[in-house]
Structure 1
Amino acid sequence: LIHQQLREKGYSTPLSADIHFNPRAAHVAATVAEKVRINPGNFVDKQKTFAVVEYTDEEYVQELEKIRSKVVPFLQVCKEHGTAVRIGVNHGSLSDRIMTRFGDTPEGMVESCMEYLRIALDEGFTDIVISMKASNTLLMTKAVRLLVDRMDKENIHFPLHLGVTEAGDGEDGRMKSAVGIGALLSDGLGDTVRVSLSEDPEAEVPVARKIVDYVAKREGHKPILGELYPGFSPFSTDKRETRAVRNIGGGFVPVVISDRNAIADMSINPHFIPDYIYVGDNVPGNFPKGMKSIVDFPNWEDRIDNFPMFTAGNISDIKECQAAVKFLQLSYPQLTDEVLSVLKNTEKLVVILQTSHVNGVGEQRAFFHKLLNGHCDIPVVLQRSYSEDVAEDIQVKGGIDFGTVLLDGFGNGIMISNTG
């Protein structure tokens, strides 16, 4: 009825039906809608009860045959009506069968999808789109990367639909979506996207558009020369191991450095207190008491909670400086073998990793891989500068820029400035 009324009113946008728990409903929807989304976690398998049921290999094969007996008739209806199918795996609804064998893991999500893909290919059905969604951006990105790797190995190639489930609303929803979707788009993965906000539906498309447009602007740049670290895995959740410099690196949570270099206002929101404040040339008279300051080395004074910021231009002064923590602003092009030697052999040093490259994510990734190849465990703080007047714009851009690199396991803190 909905489809009929839309067409009578002159709307031609394809209609997609999202079906759970009911193969019969999927059959009906396939005769009307242009696409039907089915969830492998509940299309045939029973609703999750979190029961641990051990299957023998023979019993597991029997369960797969049950799935085949329900999926094949559905695919036949789709063939007859020219209906596409989205195999939409959701981390929160993996079946007890998958959970028992593979656990609550990206591997479980991948196998849940591959079971249905293999059945479809056996039946010669290829009008398929795939999605792998989770509310945890780390798990979602690893699952999609693992799925693509598995499909490549089996010579299977289908479009990917990207999204983060239950992203939330406001700042949280926008940043979670930007992190998860943006990281995969940065990898060159993804054909369609959906931003899911706990807001009115019309708020979702503008955010999705901003995510896609921001990543697309990187296209066409000259290659960033670098060498991938052989031990790096895009499927791993391991973080790069670093030495600790005070509360940065080691086993400490990432720090936050507030960049007030170009801002006269030194007030601090009590709900968002940074670990350090970078002030540039001098500590102003209105600097908050009890806060740790970072000052450009030429104007640095050796006193409690005041630390110097070096650049590539005065890197030779680092060795003689006796500060408890020393910061060094660097970009990837400045990471020569000589500079790498300084990073490896200087204690109490932290890198502030800058980038002005159109593909800053790619350049910062290259920096970390050079550190790994050079066996350098120095802690690194990711730095980005923006000039945005709209809060949503910096949420999206910052989410993509910082989130993508942090999801790789790189970065011991963030330093952000906005002059908008």
Structure 2
Amino acid sequence: MIKYCESTYKTKRWKTREVMVGKVGVGGNNPIRIQSMTTSSTRDVQATIDQIIRLADAGCEIARVTVQGMKEADACEGIKSGLLQRGYTIPLVADIHFFPPAAMRVVDFVDKVRVNPGNYVDRRASFKTREYDDASYAKEIEKIEEKFTSLVEKCKSLKRAMRIGTNHGSLSDRIMNRYGDTPQGMVESALEFARVCRKNDFHDFMFSMKSSNPQVMILAYRLLVAEMMSLGWDYPLHLGVTEAGEGEDGRVKSAMGIGSLLLDGIGNTIRISLTEDPWHEIDPCQRLVALASTYEKKQGMPPFEEIYRNIEKIERRTVNLPRNISLHRDGTVFISVNKSDVEDCDFYKKLGCDIQLSLPKLKRTSADCIVLDKDVNFNTPILKHLQEMGMSVFSYNPIEGGVKLISLSELDKLAPAPSLLAVIIKNESSTEWEKLLKTQPALIVLAPEDHRLHYCRQFFYWLQMQKLHLPVILHFNYSCIQEDFIIQSSAELGALLCDGLGDGIWLKGPYDFDFLRNLSFTILQSTRMRSFKTDFISCPSCGRTLFDLQDVSKRIRARTSHLPGVKIAIMGCIVNGPGEMADADFGYVGSKPGKIDLYLGKTCVEKDIDFTHADNRLIELIKKHGQWIEPEIVEEFT
């Protein structure tokens, strides 16, 4: 496997050089820094100052503002001055797309400039298929050097920092031609600009590799670090899942992408991009940093060298699913139930069942398997009915038609072994795992109590070495508060599932099992394994946004959230439209005040729709392309 981090069996931070952003050090021996971005118009100096102060008071360490033109660039002088007058030294970052003159102006006033290598030199209209031979490609590289060098020189002379921020959805046509819409292309896009910096002996820069797809984002950062390691480079990394959305969905996606990298010791500064007020981004960032810190303090697993995991693309394990257990090929959801759960009048609904003619029916969001706590009597009509519907029942005690759960230490004591058997592995050594070779169960429940990520990696490596194709359910038990639980479970499970390791989720803890079921499905969807609802890609808003993004996002979600497998992007402006929504099926993009453009993929198919009609036109577009289904009508069960 290509080396992309200091260690795959423990969390050891990859040491980068330090880059100063104002008075805040990024990389080196500094802690992981937390960033956010204002949503006010940058021209509104006072509103932007107020937002940055609120961010700083919440724990934000670096603040970014959008700079789309000269007026915004000039406003940054007043913003910086106003912050200093009120005693705030938080670094100010200017976000630049498409307009190099604004970058040259604003660098006088800010501490860092972010440029997007996909559109800093390439024009907005140039994203189309073209053929490049070596000579024409070389001319394009010369054009980058010609237009970018002046900014590099000015940053160097003024001691300003820079972020080369690649986005999955806004790669140049020359990158798309040579590499396609790939993580490898994202890396090369950043390196094109980094080489200009290095040629001019400018090293106060860092990278980002953002995507709305956590898997693409993870691969891109890993490939970039691997390339830097091979080149002897050591530039810091800013981590983020772009356009993550809102609420639990946004936190799960972000924790999955950012957390996976932090647990590998990669990343020096982070931002969670939510379609919410920016100060709401700080708390989940702080929780992610705390999780990474906890992992860094762990001693780690005994060293082992992986040879099967591929960091260049996702490859799921080959698994033989048993025919007589209801495991889903795209990821199975397990739920624990106790006596009070079964007696709850909402038991069926919490399991995700529909009620039709007063009887429960399985649907897309129903749990696949339930695990009975020891206080549950299986001989109840409810549990028998679930089994008859096709939901597998697991129990620590033998039950008719059920699957028996046993510990690994009990495996060699069974004589004879039941035909339906699941073995729980907790913290046993690799020597003890060899019991599985003699008596192979129907499936394995992997439930480490500590070192979850690294223990599981070692176990999957052992399975591959032994050529065992048994399905593995990841069973993680938490006792933290719910906000930490969402972040921690998404990061730890995501780090495995995004690598194709694991065939299902069994979450447990002091939380309502309806919440556990929904979160399990959300994690599976965020890994692009199992789709059960619409996948929304929505930007966090900024000074470019042309409508109330939070209100519109909630409105569209309310009408379209029942479309499994459909990806809808809700973007506040043209910069965060086709340039950011990468792999969305449909796009709703602010094009000018009061007007919306609709996209099919990256192609604009309807322009300048009046804002009041845009929601209905989006639904008409979805229907036109055969991806609309009517919402399910569910009978209330009382």
Tell me, yes or no, whether TM beats 0.5.
yes
| Unmatched runs of 5 consecutive residues or more in structure 1 | none
The partner residue of 1:406 within 484, 497, 504 is 497
> Partners in 2 of 1:327 and 1:227 — Cα distance?
27
Report the Cα offset of residue 287 of structure 1.
4.3
2:507 pairs with 1:384: no
The partner residue of 1:184 within 243, 261, 283 is 261
For residues 257-281 of structure 1, the C-alpha deviation after alignment (integer angstroms, 9 at most, x for no partner) is 10225x6313142264211111133
Report the Cα offset of residue 11 of structure 1.
1.9
Which secondary structure does the structure 2 equivalent of 1:327 belong to?
strand
> Partners in 2 of 1:178 and 1:400 — Cα distance?
5
| Larger displacement relative to structure 2 (91-100 or 203-212) | 91-100
2:392 counterpart residue number: 292
1:373 counterpart residue number: 465
Report the Cα offset of residue 418 of structure 1.
1.1
Evaluate the alpha carbon distance shift between residue 332 and residue 236 of structure 1 in structure 2; reply closer, same or farther with a 3 A threshold: farther
The partner residue of 1:417 within 501, 505, 508 is 508
1:330 counterpart residue number: 425
Contact 1:224–1:362 under 8 Å retained in 2: yes
> Partners in 2 of 1:386 and 1:166 — Cα distance?
28
Q: What amino acid is aligned across from residue 401 of structure 1 in structure 2?
A: E
2:340 pairs with 1:264: yes
2:400 pairs with 1:302: yes
Which secondary structure does the structure 2 equivalent of 1:189 belong to?
coil
For residues 93-122 of structure 1, the C-alpha deviation after alignment (integer angstroms, 9 at most, x for no partner) is 111221111101000000001111111101
The partner residue of 1:193 within 270, 289, 295 is 270
| % identical equivalent positions | 35
The partner residue of 2:410 within 291, 311, 314 is 314
2:367 pairs with 1:274: yes
> Partners in 2 of 1:386 and 1:393 — Cα distance?
9
2:187 counterpart residue number: 110
| Unmatched runs of 5 consecutive residues or more in structure 2 | 1-77, 354-364, 512-638
Q: What amino acid is aligned across from residue 308 of structure 1 in structure 2?
A: K
Report the Cα offset of residue 366 of structure 1.
1.2
> Partners in 2 of 1:197 and 1:93 — Cα distance?
20
Contact 1:283–1:293 under 8 Å retained in 2: no
Report the Cα offset of residue 332 of structure 1.
4.5
Evaluate the alpha carbon distance shift between residue 222 and residue 212 of structure 1 in structure 2; reply closer, same or farther with a 3 A threshold: same
> Partners in 1 of 2:85 and 2:300 — Cα distance?
51
For residues 371-415 of structure 1, the C-alpha deviation after alignment (integer angstroms, 9 at most, x for no partner) is 11222221111010112343x221111101111111121001011
Contact 1:242–1:250 under 8 Å retained in 2: no
Evaluate the alpha carbon distance shift between residue 114 and residue 19 of structure 1 in structure 2; reply closer, same or farther with a 3 A threshold: same
Contact 1:332–1:366 under 8 Å retained in 2: no
Which secondary structure does the structure 1 equivalent of 2:474 belong to?
strand
2:444 counterpart residue number: 351
Which secondary structure does the structure 2 equivalent of 1:244 belong to?
coil
Report the Cα offset of residue 348 of structure 1.
5.3
Contact 2:423–2:445 under 8 Å retained in 1: yes
After superposing on structure 2, the runs of 4+ consecutive aligned residues of structure 1 that deviate more than 3 Å are 247-251, 282-288, 344-348
Q: Cα RMSD (Å) of the superposition?
A: 2.1
Which secondary structure does the structure 2 equivalent of 1:309 belong to?
strand
Q: What amino acid is aligned across from residue 403 of structure 2 in structure 1?
A: F
Q: What amino acid is aligned across from residue 367 of structure 2 in structure 1?
A: P
Q: What amino acid is aligned across from residue 189 of structure 2 in structure 1?
A: S
Contact 2:326–2:392 under 8 Å retained in 1: no
Report the Cα offset of residue 295 of structure 1.
0.6
The partner residue of 1:205 within 279, 282, 285 is 282
> Partners in 2 of 1:252 and 1:154 — Cα distance?
41
Evaluate the alpha carbon distance shift between residue 99 and residue 356 of structure 1 in structure 2; reply closer, same or farther with a 3 A threshold: same
TM-score by length of 1: 0.92
Evaluate the alpha carbon distance shift between residue 250 and residue 41 of structure 1 in structure 2; reply closer, same or farther with a 3 A threshold: farther
1:139-218 equivalence runs, <5 A: 139-218=216-295
> Partners in 2 of 1:3 and 1:100 — Cα distance?
41
> Partners in 2 of 1:409 and 1:30 — Cα distance?
43
Which secondary structure does the structure 2 equivalent of 1:415 belong to?
strand
| Larger displacement relative to structure 2 (72-81 or 33-42) | 72-81
Report the Cα offset of residue 347 of structure 1.
5.2
For these two proteins, the number of residue pairs brought into alignment is 410
For residues 332-364 of structure 1, the C-alpha deviation after alignment (integer angstroms, 9 at most, x for no partner) is 524426x43x4345455200001111x211111
Report the Cα offset of residue 301 of structure 1.
2.2
2:362 counterpart residue number: none
Contact 2:300–2:454 under 8 Å retained in 1: no
2:304 counterpart residue number: 227
